[in-house]
C-alpha cells in the first residue's frame, strides 16, 4: 500500500503541496470545503492517488467521519499538513486524534500565520505523533515588507516537510514592527 498523506486546507495556498506529495509517491487525501476548489485541484493534479474530501472542518463529527473513511480506504496516514483557520479551534485536535488512533508513527505539519508564534500547547498530540510548526512570516525587500505569496508559502511548507524541524519559519518574523499592515 502507498504511503498516505492528508492535507487539510489543501486547495488554496497548499494546493501545490498536495501535488508535490503526490509526486513523492504519497496517496494524498485533501480536505476542503467547496466542491469547486476540489475540482480545480483534480484538474491540475489528476485523480490518480488523489482523493478529495469535501467537508467543512468546523463540523467536527463530519470531519472525523471523513478522515476515518479515508484511512479505511487508503491505509494509515503518515504525514499531515494542516492550515486551519482560528474559527475552528477544535479541528486540529480532531485531526490529531483521528490520525493518531491508528497507532502508526506520523508527522503533523501545523501551518500557522505569523501571529501563531509557537502555540504548540494549544494542541495535545498523541504519543505516536511528531509535531512540526510552520510559521508564515513576511518578506522584506527594497526597504518595504509584504506578505508571502502562495508559491512562497507552498515552497516553504515543502522545505519544512523535507527538513522535519520542530519549528520552521517561512519568510521572516523579525523585525516584527516591519511586518505589512
Q: Hey, CA dihedral for 160, 4, 102, 90, is it positive or negative?
A: positive
Q: Is residue 73 part of a domain?
A: yes
SS3 22: helix
The overall pTM is greater than 0.75: yes
Q: Do the domain assignments include residue 121? A: yes
Q: Count the alpha carbons within 13 Å of 73 in the hemisphere toward its beta carbon.
A: 15
49 located within any domain: yes
In a domain, 118, yes or no: yes
Residue 175 forms part of a structural domain: no
Does residue 97 sit within a domain?
A: yes
**Is 9 within the bounds of a domain?**
yes
What's the full length of the chain, in residues? 181
Express each pLDDT in 118-173 by its tens digit. Answer: 454 567 889 999 999 999 999 999 989 999 999 999 999 999 999 999 999 999 99
Longest dimension (CA), the chain: 52
Please count the structural domains in the chain: 1
Q: Which residue has the higher pLDDT, 123 or 71?
A: 71
Report if residue 144 sits inside a domain. Answer: no
Report the CATH number that the domain containing residue 53 is assigned in CATH.
3.40.50.720
Amino acid at each position: 500500500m502507498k504511503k498516505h498523506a492528508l492535507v487539510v486546507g489543501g486547495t488554496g495556498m497548499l494546493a501545490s503541496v498536495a501535488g508535490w506529495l503526490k509526486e513523492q509517491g504519497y496517496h494524498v487525501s485533501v480536505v476542503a470545503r467547496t466542491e469547486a476548489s476540489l475540482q480545480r485541484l483534480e484538474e491540475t493534479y489528476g485523480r490518480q492517488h488523489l482523493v478529495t474530501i469535501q467537508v467543512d472542518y468546523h463540523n467536527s463529527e463530519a470531519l472525523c467521519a471523513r478522515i476515518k473513511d479515508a484511512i479505511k480506504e487508503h491505509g494509515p496516514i503518515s504525514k499531515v499538513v494542516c492550515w486551519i483557520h482560528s474559527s475552528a479551534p477544535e479541528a486540529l485536535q480532531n485531526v490529531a486524534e483521528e490520525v493518531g488512533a491508528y497507532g502508526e508513527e506520523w508527522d503533523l505539519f501545523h501551518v500557522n500565520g505569523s501571529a501563531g508564534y509557537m502555540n504548540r500547547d494549544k494542541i495535545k498530540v498523541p504519543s505516536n505523533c511528531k509535531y512540526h510548526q510552520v510559521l508564515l512570516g513576511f518578506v522584506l525587500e527594497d526597504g518595504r515588507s509584504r506578505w508571502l505569496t502562495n508559491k512562497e508559502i507552498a515552497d516553504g511548507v515543502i522545505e519544512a516537510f523535507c527538513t522535519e524541524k520542530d519549528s520552521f519559519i517561512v519568510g521572516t518574523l523579525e523585525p516584527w514592527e516591519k511586518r505589512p499592515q
